[in-house]
Chains A and B, each alone.
Chain A
Amino acid sequence: MTGDRTQGGWVIALSLLAAFLLSGVPLPGKLDQFRPDWVAMTLIYWCMALPHRIGIGVGWLVGLLLDVARGALLGQYALALSVIAYLTLQAYRRIRIFSPWRQALTVLVLLLIEQVLVFWISGVIGYPPRDGWYLAPAFGGMVAWPLLFVVLRDVRRHFQVA
């Protein structure tokens, strides 16, 4: 349509906002331990779909807001999200052509890296994880990925975000 011009930035911002709100909604009962990190997953999607627009800097800024919202050390999520944005940018060509379940596995790996980074830093400042449950949200994210992918892809196509 408009050639090389970018458009639909507000869609990206809104989707990140929605993800942010969604991550505050608890899941029922025991399932809550698996509550996916929607913000990180949305970021992975946009890095994969529009690598020329969304990248390390955006990931870092989104992460900084997460730090404030979640009461983490300033920079904790910023570091984790910029790292997964970087990894997504390096691999997006391959991820794009994967089947949904291989994609989900890739996302699992990315989310595991995020969790490990965040909890590694938490451990350094005196909050070491008690058990392995802190990795559970990554698995929740893997299961939720195909759904999120389809929704965001349709949103992107509908609003012609480029």
Chain B
Amino acid sequence: MAELKPSKRFRYLFTLNPAATLRLGLWAALAMGMMTVDHRYHSLDGLRDLLSTAVYPLQTLMQAPTAIRTWFTQNLANRDSLLEENARLREKQIFLNAQLQKLTTLEAENRRLRSLLESAVNTPERVLIAELLAVDFDLYRHHILLNRGRRHGIEASQPVIDQHGVIGQIMRADLLTSTAILITDPNHALPIQINRTGIRTLARGTGHFQQLDLPHIPNSEDVKVGDELVTSGLGGRFPKGYPVGTITRVEFDPGSPFARITAKPLAQLDRIREVMLLENRTDGVTAAPAPVVP
């Protein structure tokens, strides 16, 4: 039997534990102290680093089922489908290469023109691919954990994109993992520009994966549903011209000075698997302010 010996059982059945309340007080005080220090002074990053390295194997283990399924589908796929996929990919590559050639000429031309104008040129140099390890348990906080960290050359404030558009930026880089804040996080604001008209504004996260708010556009501006949003490059965090989203709703409210405009991010933020991290070399742009709600 797994029950306790009579003596012990007796003790624990009938004595209250007066020390428990005291111990709770001590532990709770420690927790609150840590939270304050972590939130205000960020001086616990070393401890977080250490613990996150300890938790890393567990998080990798959590990804095991997905990894196994991917392995099986890749290794047990039959020859025909592989050949077909290969052909399809080759076709796509030729197509993309052709586009890229055009782009290279355009980029060179652009650079030349810009140097004539003596304006700063932002060219992202290197792209690093990272996989999603975990999403935040907290439904309202859109943070994701990626499987690349400082050891792989990741730094805080690096922009994160996927094949459709901007996802967010690195908030904290630990040794082996890093945390990214998504553009839909309620505490994130992204400097953007409407492609058609060139209006600059901020896209603020709402806490919904499908929605961004554009709070500072006056009623008199020309904004239509379907307009594309791109990063404006202001603030220095994100390179200019990356697609962000499309406008889904425009409401002009005569009673308020600003229109109510919402947009939908192009990146599928609720089904991220792999992301790309841009190495952001911003020449000539002064240090970026932190992403805060205005």
Contact = CB atoms under 8 A, between A and B. Distances in A.
Contacts of B17: 51, 89-90
Interface residues of A, number: 53
B222 interface: no
Contacts of A56: 20, 23-24, 27
A1 B21 CA distance: 32
Interface in B12-59: 12-13, 17, 20-21, 23-24, 27-28, 30-35, 38-39, 44, 47-48, 51-52, 54-55, 58-59
Interface in B114-158: 134, 136-141, 143, 145
A119 to B, nearest CB: 8
Main secondary structure on chain A at its contact with chain B? helix
A23 B138 CA distance: 13
Shortest beta-carbon contacts, A-B, top 8: A75-B34, A79-B31, A75-B31, A75-B35, A24-B62, A86-B24, A68-B51, A74-B38
A82 B143 contact: no
Given A21-B62, A161-B2, A76 B35 contact: yes
B66 to A, nearest CB: 10
Interface of B is mostly: helix
A55 interface: yes
A121 B48 CA distance: 18
Given A21-B58, A52-B8, A122 B141 contact: yes
Nearest to A134: B139
Interface string A109-146: 00000000011011001111110011000000000000
Given A71-B136, A89-B17, A160-B2, A78 B34 contact: yes
B2 A74 contact: no
A150 interface: no
A144 to B, nearest CB: 16
Contact of A55 (B13, B23, B48): B23
A78 B32 CA distance: 9
Interface string A141-162: 0000000000000001100111
| Interface bracket on B | 35 or more
A55 B145 contact: no
Given A65-B51, A75-B32, A157 B23 contact: no
B137 A74 contact: no
Contacts of A90: 17, 20
Contact of B13 (A65, A93, A133): A93
Contacts of A79: 27-28, 31-32, 35
Contact of A4 (B5, B31, B52, B140): B5
A126 to B, nearest CB: 6
Question: Most chain-B CB neighbours within 10 Å: which of A75, A122, A128, A161?
Answer: A75
A95 to B, nearest CB: 13
A161 to B, nearest CB: 6
B187 interface: yes
B4 interface: yes
Contact of B39 (A73, A160, A162): A73
B233 interface: no
